[in-house]
């Protein structure tokens, strides 16, 4: 959810409710000899209000399972989830009169803190990761399609290399790391590019495939082509070793590698974008369950544990 001017009505409403709650808290506390208490009628009201908001917030995940139900626009639900969720933190603080309490309430505080922080982290990620995706991954695809795309790109690269260098054996291992660069340097130094290119072209392409493309498409850590900068220099070297008629093949290979890098970036960014949910969702359910237990025990036995 992008924080923009459209959020203002909700923010204003929550600020107003917060001010009203704090004013009530001060007024109620002033009339009590031991100050405000969670067990007072107002304190219980704050607690019940916070629990109700938590239930509402948790219901968002149910709403997501039935996105077209006529129970309010998803945008309104999400705004309510974020801003009322923050309001609930204030209500909990007022309910507890800013005391940590016993073991149960301390655990509740920790859970609430983690849920709130993870949620805020999620909102923060949503402010810039979509923009990053927009600009850094022009060829973005559906997340479900990524694996298929990786396979297709590998096949395409193999096809291009096969067209340029004849049949290739993808299982053959490359034993001459940096050979391509060395040969390129030698060819350049001896100023026999024309002859060298013609002779080296297919072999250079094959070596390039085994030494660089295969590790890159296997996702080997530290693959040279995973870096745009190093990829540029490698392809520049490859161009010096291939005859002009293979330039189109080299260009195509370079484009395939760039596309794969983009998709890798997309996967990484999307993992980050959704990472906070791993913490937020289970802890939220835990918080809700613990809060419900706390409420039952407190109301039934008059103890906050």
Partner 1 sequence: MGKAMPLATFSEGRLMTPEELRQIGIFADVDEKALLKYPGAVRKRLFAAGDVICREGEGGTTAFYIVEGSARVFIGRRLDAARNRRRKGLIARVGEWFGQRRLDRPPHPADKLIPIDATVDLRYGDLAATLHPGDVFGEMSCLNLAPRSATVVAETDCEMIEVLRNVYELLQRSKTFKAQMDQKYRERALDNHLRNVPLFESLDAVALGELKSACELISVEAGAVIFNEGDPADAMYILRVGQVRVSKKFPGGERQLAYLTRGDFFGETALLRAAPRNATCTAVDHPIAEAGGRKRRPARVELVRISAETFDRVIRGYPDILKRLEEAAERRVLSQVRAALTILPSVPAKQVEDLGLLQGQNLMLIDLEKCTRCDQCAQACSEAHDDGISRLIREGPRYDRFLVPSSCRMCMDPVCMIGCPVGSIRRTEDLNIFIEDWCVGCGVCAKQCPYNSIQLHPLESFGEDVSQRAKRVAETGEVVEVTERAVVCDQCSSLPTGPACVYACPHDAAVRVDARQFLHGSGLAGNDRSAL
| CB of 138 vs partner 1, minimal distance in Å | 7
User: Could you say whether residue 288 binds partner 1 (CB under 8 A)?
Assistant: no
Q: Which residue of 24, 133, 153, 297 would you call a contact of partner 1, by CB under 8 A?
A: 133
Contacts of 55 (CB under 8 A, 6+ apart): 288
User: Could you say whether residue 9 binds partner 1 (CB under 8 A)?
Assistant: no
Q: Which residue of 270, 288, 290, 305 would you call a contact of partner 1, by CB under 8 A?
A: 270
User: Could you say whether residue 271 binds partner 1 (CB under 8 A)?
Assistant: no
| CB of 63 vs partner 1, minimal distance in Å | 9
| CB of 3 vs partner 1, minimal distance in Å | 11
Ordered DSSP codes for the chain: ---SGGGHHHHHHHHHHHHHHHHHHHHHHHTSTT---TTSHHHHHHHHHHHHHHHHHHHHHHHHHSTTSSSS-HHHHHHIIIIIHHHHHHHHHHHTTT---SHHHHHHHHHHHHHHHHHHHHHHHHHHHHHHHHHH-TT---GGGHHHHHHHHHHHHHHHHHHHHS---TTSPP--TTHHHHHHHHHHHTT-HHHHHHHHHHHHHHHHIIIIIHHHHHT-TT-GGGSHHHHHHHHHHHHHHS-GGGHHHHHHHHHHHHHHHHHHHHHHHHHHHHHHHHHHHHHHHHHHHHHHHHHHHHHHHS---
| CB of 61 vs partner 1, minimal distance in Å | 11
Q: Which residue of 16, 69, 98, 285 would you call a contact of partner 1, by CB under 8 A?
A: 69
Q: Which residue of 77, 83, 212, 216 would you call a contact of partner 1, by CB under 8 A?
A: 77
Q: Which residue of 30, 31, 70, 167 would you call a contact of partner 1, by CB under 8 A?
A: 70
73 vs 191 by CB, closer to partner 1: 73
User: Could you say whether residue 278 binds partner 1 (CB under 8 A)?
Assistant: no
x/- mask, partner 1, residues 145-174, rule CB under 8 A, reads x-----------------------------
76 vs 247 by CB, closer to partner 1: 76
113 vs 139 by CB, closer to partner 1: 139
List residues binding partner 1 (CB under 8 A).
Answer: 1-2, 6, 64-71, 73-75, 77-78, 126, 129-131, 133-134, 138, 141-143, 145, 270, 273
């Amino acid at each position: 959810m992008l924080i923009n001017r459209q959020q203002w009505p909700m923010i204003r409403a929550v600020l107003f409710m917060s001010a009203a709650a704090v004013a009530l808290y001060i007024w109620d506390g002033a009339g009590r000899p031991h100050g405000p208490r969670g067990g007072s009628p107002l304190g219980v009201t704050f607690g019940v209000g916070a629990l109700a908001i938590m239930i509402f917030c948790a219901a968002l995940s149910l709403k997501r399972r039935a996105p077209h139900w006529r129970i309010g626009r998803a945008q309104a639900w999400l705004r309510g989830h974020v801003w009322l969720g923050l309001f609930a933190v204030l209500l909990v603080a007022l309910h507890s009169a800013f005391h940590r309490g016993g073991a149960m309430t301390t655990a509740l505080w920790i859970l609430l803190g983690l849920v709130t922080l993870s949620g805020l982290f999620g909102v923060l990620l949503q402010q810039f990761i979509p923009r990053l995706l927009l600009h850094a991954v022009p060829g973005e695809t559906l997340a479900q399609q990524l694996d298929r795309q990786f396979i297709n790109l590998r096949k395409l690269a193999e096809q291009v290399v096969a067209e340029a260098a004849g049949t290739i054996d993808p299982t053959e291992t490359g034993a001459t790391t940096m050979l391509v660069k060395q040969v390129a340097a030698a060819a350049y130094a001896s100023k026999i590019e024309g002859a060298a290119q013609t002779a080296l072209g297919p072999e250079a392409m094959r070596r390039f495939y085994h030494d660089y493309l295969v590790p890159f498409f296997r996702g080997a850590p530290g693959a040279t082509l995973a870096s745009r900068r190093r990829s540029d220099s490698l392809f520049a070297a490859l161009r010096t070793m291939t005859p002009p008629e293979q330039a189109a093949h080299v260009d195509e290979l370079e484009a395939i590698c760039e596309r794969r890098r983009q998709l890798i970036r997309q996967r990484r960014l999307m993992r980050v974008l959704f990472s906070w949910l791993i913490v937020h969702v289970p802890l939220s359910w835990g918080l809700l369950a613990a809060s419900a237990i706390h409420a039952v025990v407190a109301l039934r036995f008059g103890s906050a544990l």
